[in-house]
Structure 1
Amino acid sequence: MDDLLKICGRQVSFHRRRHGMTQAELADRASLSVDMIAKLEVGTTAPSLRTIGALAAVLHVDPAELLTTQVVGLASGRPVLSELVSRIQGLSDDQVLFVKGVVEAALRRVP
Structure 2
Amino acid sequence: MTDSPRMTLPAMLVLEVMLADPARRRYGLELCEETRQHPGTVYPILARLEREFGWLERREEAPAERLAEGRRARHYYVLTHDGAIRARAALDRAGRATVHPGTPRP
Q: Normalized against structure 1, the TM-score is what?
A: 0.29
Higher helix share: 1
- Of structures 1 and 2, the one scoring higher in RCO (CA 8 A, sep 6+) is 2
* Larger strand percent: 2
TM score, norm. by length of structure 2:
0.30
